[in-house]
Amino acid sequence: MNASFRLFSNIFLLYFTTSVGVKCQRNTVVPKKLSNSVKISSLTSSYNDFLDLLNPIAIERVSGSSGNVQVRNYLVSKMKNFGWNVELDSFNANTPYGVKSMSNVIATYPIGKSFYANSNANSKVLNRVVFACHYDSKYFANFKFIAATDSAVPCAMLLDMAKFLSENSNIKDFNKLIRHIQFVFFDGEEAFKEWTSTDSIYGSRNYANKLSNKYGQKSFDSIDLFVLLDLIGGDNTKFPNYFPNVPTSNNAYKILNKIEKALLGAKLLSRQSQFYFTDLQGNGQFYGVEDDHKPFLRKNVPILHLIPSPFPSVWHNQRDTVDNLFPNNIQDLRMIMKYFLMEILNNKEMKPVKAEDEF
């Protein structure tokens, strides 16, 4: 992502708020109140469990490198083991260092009535909620960049959420849903040199172009919400509400605020007061961060951008390692995101099957 924040123009805000999220189903994808179906015992697991998912990702993984392929294969293997349908969106990208082979990992959880409507159901054009992050690391010639927060931790959090679904959910209840879930691990988010429109977000640009060319605008209209995770696990973990004027995006942020409050009330979080999702006034609307959501934002997809402001102090330097992560922040956000995942499914009848204690 680009570190330079820019002030949105009033013209852009007027256009954006009148053109995004106008479809009714998008305003109902996120429940307006907590369903009380999430149970404490299904949310908690140790930090060591998380490290087991994270460590294979926390290596140098510049796009086009052997480390990148190693991490990609790991993500594919884990998602398949968790019961997801996985495909690769592979392409060659022209970079300042020549042509690089890249691949996005697209994982779809086979749930919902539409998915089972017929054997040829196309997961790209059915209504869905997308959770995304990037798995490549930035190239630095003078040091080995592990990029733990940027974005090994977000990748591991998606794996953690997938594992949570496989272990704690009743597939028969999932079949009643009218939408399904996709996890997208983008390649080529980082610029090889300086961030420009052509040297950045290679994977998300390619995937959005592919959807547009093959399926048209309907492939974007069917995305009820696009949740992008980035730069998570460091010292700075306050998340602005970047799109308060978009009903679906704003409602999703408010749900995160309520979940944080609920978990605080249950004394499950490391903090004593709300911290992570407190921008209910929407001050984040005045700043834009260049990231993998932009190609989808341009297609009027509602965005929930989970990137902290300010950026972690280890951003784009050699201190961005697993040893310098903040475990308490990660543990808190793991619980919040798993709770949020269950809420986003918007099915009152669905409950985790392994549980004893309810909120």
Tens digits of pLDDT across the chain (359 residues): 665 433 332 223 323 333 333 343 465 677 666 765 566 667 889 999 999 999 999 999 999 999 999 999 999 999 999 999 999 999 999 999 999 999 999 999 877 665 554 445 555 556 889 999 999 999 999 999 999 999 999 999 999 999 998 887 666 666 667 678 999 999 999 999 999 999 999 999 999 999 999 999 999 999 999 999 999 999 999 999 999 999 999 999 999 999 999 999 999 999 999 999 999 999 999 877 999 999 999 999 999 999 999 999 999 999 999 999 999 999 999 999 999 998 887 544 333 323 233 33
Q: Which amino acid is at 54?
A: L
Q: How far apart are CA 157 and CA 134, in angstroms?
A: 12
What's the confidence (pLDDT) of residue 355?
Answer: 28
**Comparing C-alpha atoms, which of 126, 91, 298, 345 is closest to residue 219?**
126
Q: Do residues 115 and 121 make contact, with C-beta atoms less than 8 angstroms apart?
A: yes
Q: How far apart are CA 308 and CA 15, in angstroms?
A: 25
What's the confidence (pLDDT) of residue 119?
Answer: 45
Neighbouring CB atoms inside 10 A of 220's CB total 20
The DSSP call for residue 148 is I
Q: Tokens 């679904």 sit at which residue?
A: 165
The DSSP call for residue 322 is G
Residue 167: phi and psi, rounded to 5, are -95, -20
Residue 163 tokens, joined: 């594992």
Residue 19 CB burial class (10 angstroms; 0-12, 13-18, ≥19): exposed
What's the confidence (pLDDT) of residue 330?
Answer: 98
**Domain map (residue ranges) of the chain:** 40-116+123-346
Q: Which positions are catalytic?
A: 189, 230
Query: How many residues are present in the chain?
Result: 359
What's the confidence (pLDDT) of residue 123?
Answer: 57
Q: How far apart are CA 237 and CA 239, in angstroms?
A: 6
40-116+123-346: CATH topology: Aminopeptidase (3.40.630)
Q: Do residues 277 and 256 make contact, with C-beta atoms less than 8 angstroms apart?
A: yes
The DSSP call for residue 281 is T
**Comparing C-alpha atoms, which of 166, 205, 197, 355 is closest to residue 293?**
205
Residue 186: phi and psi, rounded to 5, are -85, 140
Q: How far apart are CA 193 and CA 191, in angstroms?
A: 5
